[in-house]
Structure 1
Amino acid sequence: MAPILYLIAKTKEAGEKGMSKGTIKKVAGPLVIAEGMRDANMFDVVRVSDQRLIGEIIEIHGDKASVQVYEETSGLGPGEPVESTGAPLSVELGPGLIGSIFDGIQRPLEEIMNATGSNLTRGVEIPSLKRDTKWHFVPNVKDGDIVESGDIIGEVLETEIVRHKIMIPYGIKGTITSINEGDFTIEETIGVVTGQDGTTKNITMMQKWPVRVGRPYKEKLSPDMPLITGQRVIDTLFPIAKGGVAAVPGPFGSGKTVVQHQLAKWAESDIVVYIGCGERGNEMTDVLNEFPELKDPKTGHSLMERTVLIANTSDMPVAAREASIYVGITIAEYFRDMGYSVALMADSTSRWAEALREMSGRLEEMPGEEGYPAYLGSRLAQFYERAGRVISLGADGREGALSVIGAVSPPGGDISEPVSQATLRIVKVFWGLDSNLAYRRHFPAINWLTSYSLYVDNMSNWFNNNVKDNWMDLRLRIMHLLHDESELDEIVKLVGMDALSSSDRLKLEAARSIREDFLHQDAFHEVDTYTDLEKQHKMMELVLNFYDISSKALPKGVTVDELVKLPVRERIGRFKYVQNDKTQKEFQDIIDSLHREIEALSQKEDS
């Protein structure tokens, strides 16, 4: 049996036979060693002690199993029972995911609060999705239709802006012999599929999937289409592809979380999955308070109506951080399979790696660099490689995309540490946040000299064909000016501004305009917070037009100081605050004024 089918079968069959039972031999923080577990399997979910704490088997030696426990283990002792459920750690997928707030192992925090109060209670057993809520199911197939894994058989209007598509679970193929429209809970049968061998399968609106196995698809597509974010430094200089992966490393206070919030709000994605992995409790509180209040700019509804939140704060048990990443990306893959574009924000993978390091240390494994396990790089790759733009399973060949943006929090902002370096070997986009830019109040504080995007060449045709045919030329010129500015700054620091030629001083002015007028973006300004590609192109043209026309005026005797003081400079700087419906007129007015004012200066020098 294929590995995926085997895990799915184990998930379904759990509970149908006697489970492996053992006893605790040793407790070391979140790690519990249990003996008498010879019949258990790797990655089985277990219940530890009479309190029924949730854990997962991560190592087996003979009849001894090492269990990482996802809850506080204080008070546990040798001799207490350990029982395997016989199934891997899985998530429940179905209507009710959108707008929910889960912990690291998909327990619904709101339901837990209603049942036990404000503090998490150990051993609480509450299903991830509500069992009593009825959803109105509208089928789009009929009796006699042939269906296979991934086929959409109907829809549920989960929120006002998300149509939840009910798919045939993996491993099922046959003929629809019964399909019903109406109000059902996620466990009630909505249809029956009869296989070629005559076996029947009841179809419900919920399916389960093991979190450590990527959901299958037909084909992975080339990353040649950008994920438009409306953030100029990203879209123009360092774009991410739909289905691409990006890392946002940066020190404390450099704006990682704000960048991810902006992407969650403005990126062209249908669904947002936000994983707070080991972040400070007050930061996650801000997220939980802000997201319901944020208005989705496309629909006017709350952003929560297309968002799934996973909150695993730094004071929660460390082992649950390891699971939260996989739970989040499995939920994201599920919506990708429906044909949606999904953006997943992981904040931050450094805290996840710290959890790996702690568990590895307790298992007494040979440490790698800085104490991280030797398999750190492969685990990071397994996570990021689940992103992609794909053709989903099913006869209709629908296209879905899962883009992953992972924040990295290197200690002291030092990106030479192992987690940052292992991440950079995997991802193709690096948005390096710079604390010096943040202290100068330049946001987003993405350093244009250290950041890069390896998707640019793949997407150059898309930008040239869908925006303007000179998009990539303008981008390249802007990058050259910014790099030239960096070199000229070194000369100015050594010998002063007077040592520069007029053309070099003009180049510095053009680069300053790029930094202040184009790259600096106010996340709290109603217009500047988002810039579409057409406007970004106009802004690039304005800055470069000023530089080109001024360069031609210098040989005529016009000084750099005169050019800098032109009234049109202020209009170029304020163009980013112009409403979208007025940009074309304002753009043309500024170009005309630029020609007039420089022409006037040239004539003055001639006379």
Structure 2
Amino acid sequence: MTEQRKGRITKIIGNMVAAQTDAHIIQNEVAFILHGKERLKSEVIRIRGNLAEMQVFENTSGLKIGEEVEFTGELLSVDLGPGLLGQIFDGLQNPLPDLAKECGFFLKRGVYLEALSSESKWEFTPLVKSGARLRAGDRIGFVPEKIFKHYIMAPFHLAGHLELTRISPKGSYSLKEPIAQLKDEEGRFHDVFLKQTWPIKIPIQAYAEKLKPQEPLVTKMRLIDSLFPVARGGTYCVPGPFGAGKTVLQQLTSRHAEVDIVIIAACGERAGEAVETLKTFPEIIDPRTGKPLSERTVIMCNTSSMPVAARESGVYTAVAIGEYYRQMGLNVLLLADSTSRWAQAMREMSGRLEEIPGEEAFPAYLESRIASFYERAGIVRLRDASIGSLTIGGTVSPAGGNFDEPVTQATLKVVGAFHGLSRERSDARRYPAIDPLISWSKYPGFIEEKQEDRGHQILRKSYEAAQMMKVIGEEGTSLPDYIDYLK
């Protein structure tokens, strides 16, 4: 690290730190604040002249004006490679079990571990020969990971046509050993490893075509599959008041949905809920394989007690991992719980940046941020004609169950299905507590449209009859209305 890539702290407001520097810095690059022996990770979120404003992913207590900041010149990135499945990460992709072994019950700030063990050996099998013409994202070989073939692909950041100049024979290799070499159109050589890194806020687009979601995703929950279907590669949201069963519904979906990989982003969840998820998932038996469900699951865990900046990085890290497995032709389901707490983190940081607030003090760019997140879902045709999909389902926790608040409304503008939970149904112990009178879906399902409309019509009539019976009682209700109520 040269002197030109350094700066000094000039302002500290909560977990937002401003540093003055003469270095050429870029938006969203990673910086480290040097506090004694600690190196606190942060991300540049705004640049004004020679002032860089950063969100710190750690507790900032004890930091002082004048302390040194190192700028890395690298964007906040995720490690992609074999070994992700079955892992539990925090928002910065630190493996939490390893972090607990390192630090004990109370995690220390400034401790960052490698997401994937560089010492582990993987049995690599090549699929192409030297001299092959490739492009970014094309498959070079594979290693077995749990029940899947984990394809090793040409690095996503390489542009144009690539020539494979060398490839290793079948054998065991670690993540640090190069298994191939590529030459780009400008004659530069690039080593290929089992692992690659990718900036979390940039979508992976190494595919031939993005398709329109049409095929229904089977969740094996009758209410969803019949009346409010979700398409494979589509988006949906589950808003509802606290305690209405959002997390339970997501766990049921992850267990029974017909997908290959499940990624759970616990964003700002209460610690009790996160602990329950971490305890139950290893014990849940996958109905498809008869093995623990955790073998095809990746969990990103950010509790409400962790720094708010890590919530945003956790959501983007989860979606980047989802896109990576989609590139292998797999069907991926990403469950974000809850996007409201991510929005609250944005509001907190926006206030510290002194930006002009929007509705309910959320930033004016709230809608565009939520839209850009859900737009990373989709079903894609890869260059070898295989199909992969990433389905995104996010829960929303509106205060008091008010669906007119900004986060819910911004989400409804971009998703394809809306599964609204109601307090009345959850209090009556009717699970899933999806209210069929307010929920909707734009996706085609298994039932013909005419029959689906008929089902909605019966539900509306039944509700009207029930409301009337509350006023006039059963005795004053006509027989046809009572039959509608029973339906």
TM class by smaller structure: over 0.9
Secondary structure at the counterpart of residue 106 of structure 2: coil
Secondary structure at the counterpart of residue 49 of structure 1: strand
1:303-323 Cα deviation digits (max 9, x unpaired): 111111100000001111111
1:7-46 Cα deviation digits (max 9, x unpaired): xxxxxxxx7x776200111111100010125411111100
> Which residue pairs with 1:104 in the alignment?
91
> Which residue pairs with 1:175 in the alignment?
163
> Which residue pairs with 1:257 in the alignment?
247
**Is contact 1:19–1:86 with CA below 8 Å preserved after alignment?**
no
Letter in structure 2 aligned against 1:235: D
1:554-579 Cα deviation digits (max 9, x unpaired): xxxxxxxxxxxxxxxxxxxxxxxxxx
Residues 1:39 and 2:39 aligned together: no
Residues 1:362 and 2:352 aligned together: yes
Gaps of 5+ in 1: 1-14, 465-470, 512-607
> Which residue pairs with 1:587 in the alignment?
none
Closer, same or farther in 2 for the Cα pair 1:297/1:496, shift >3 Å?
A: same
Task: Map 1:76-91; keep pairs closer than 5 Å.
Answer: 76-91=63-78
> Which residue pairs with 1:566 in the alignment?
none
Find 1:449's aligned residue among 433, 437, 441. Answer: 437
Closer, same or farther in 2 for the Cα pair 1:475/1:498, shift >3 Å?
A: same
Letter in structure 1 aligned against 2:69: V
Task: Map 1:342-491; keep pairs closer than 5 Å.
Answer: 342-392=332-382, 394=383, 396-455=384-443, 459-460=444-445, 463=446, 471-491=448-468
> Which residue pairs with 1:195 in the alignment?
184
The whole-number CA distance in structure 2 between the counterparts of 1:38 and 1:375 is: 28
Residues 1:212 and 2:197 aligned together: no
Residues 1:229 and 2:216 aligned together: no
What TM-score comes out, normalization by structure 2 length? 0.96
**Is contact 1:38–1:64 with CA below 8 Å preserved after alignment?**
no
> Which residue pairs with 1:596 in the alignment?
none
Q: How far has the Cα of 1:120 moved from its partner?
A: 1.5
Letter in structure 1 aligned against 2:116: L
% identity of equivalent residues? 46
> Which residue pairs with 1:537 in the alignment?
none
Letter in structure 2 aligned against 1:157: P
Task: Map 1:10-159; keep pairs closer than 5 Å.
Answer: 20-50=5-35, 51-159=38-146
Find 2:484's aligned residue among 501, 507, 510. Answer: 507
**Is contact 2:465–2:484 with CA below 8 Å preserved after alignment?**
no
Q: How far has the Cα of 1:332 moved from its partner?
A: 0.5
Which is further off, 215-224 or 441-450? 215-224
Q: How far has the Cα of 1:488 moved from its partner?
A: 1.7
The whole-number CA distance in structure 1 between the counterparts of 2:282 and 2:22 is: 45
Letter in structure 2 aligned against 1:57: V
Q: How far has the Cα of 1:80 moved from its partner?
A: 0.5
Which is further off, 143-152 or 289-298? 143-152
Secondary structure at the counterpart of residue 497 of structure 1: coil
Gaps of 5+ in 2: none
> Which residue pairs with 1:527 in the alignment?
none
> Which residue pairs with 1:244 in the alignment?
234
**Is contact 1:23–1:36 with CA below 8 Å preserved after alignment?**
yes
1:47-90 Cα deviation digits (max 9, x unpaired): 01232100000011111110100011100000100010001100
1:341-390 Cα deviation digits (max 9, x unpaired): 00000000010001000000111111111111111111101101111111
| Number of corresponding residues | 481
Q: How far has the Cα of 1:142 moved from its partner?
A: 1.6
Secondary structure at the counterpart of residue 308 of structure 1: strand
Find 1:338's aligned residue among 325, 328, 337. Answer: 328
Secondary structure at the counterpart of residue 53 of structure 1: strand
Secondary structure at the counterpart of residue 475 of structure 2: helix
Letter in structure 1 aligned against 2:80: L
1:517-563 Cα deviation digits (max 9, x unpaired): xxxxxxxxxxxxxxxxxxxxxxxxxxxxxxxxxxxxxxxxxxxxxxx
Task: Kindly name which structure, 1 or 2, has the bigger radius of gyration based on alpha carbons.
Answer: 1
Greater share of strand: 2
Q: How far has the Cα of 1:328 moved from its partner?
A: 0.6
Letter in structure 2 aligned against 1:187: K
Find 1:273's aligned residue among 263, 268, 271. Answer: 263
Greater share of helix: 1
> How well do the aligned residues superpose, as a CA RMSD in angstroms?
1.5
Letter in structure 2 aligned against 1:324: G
Letter in structure 2 aligned against 1:485: S
Closer, same or farther in 2 for the Cα pair 1:116/1:493, shift >3 Å?
A: closer
Letter in structure 2 aligned against 1:491: M
Residues 1:327 and 2:317 aligned together: yes
Secondary structure at the counterpart of residue 372 of structure 2: helix
Letter in structure 2 aligned against 1:314: S
Letter in structure 1 aligned against 2:484: K
What TM-score comes out, normalization by structure 1 length? 0.77
**Is contact 2:57–2:307 with CA below 8 Å preserved after alignment?**
yes
1:148-203 Cα deviation digits (max 9, x unpaired): 111111111111x1221111112253232222221111121111223354432211
Q: How far has the Cα of 1:426 moved from its partner?
A: 1.3
The whole-number CA distance in structure 1 between the counterparts of 2:140 and 2:133 is: 11
Which is further off, 496-505 or 48-57? 496-505
Q: How far has the Cα of 1:494 moved from its partner?
A: 2.8
The whole-number CA distance in structure 2 between the counterparts of 1:132 and 1:103 is: 21
Secondary structure at the counterpart of residue 215 of structure 2: coil
> Which residue pairs with 2:474 in the alignment?
497
The whole-number CA distance in structure 2 between the counterparts of 1:43 and 1:33 is: 14
The whole-number CA distance in structure 2 between the counterparts of 1:27 and 1:198 is: 46
Letter in structure 2 aligned against 1:163: K
Where has structure 1 moved over 6 Å in runs of 4 or more? none
> Which residue pairs with 2:174 in the alignment?
185
Secondary structure at the counterpart of residue 386 of structure 1: coil
Which is further off, 488-497 or 89-98? 488-497
> Which residue pairs with 1:553 in the alignment?
none
**Is contact 1:49–1:76 with CA below 8 Å preserved after alignment?**
no
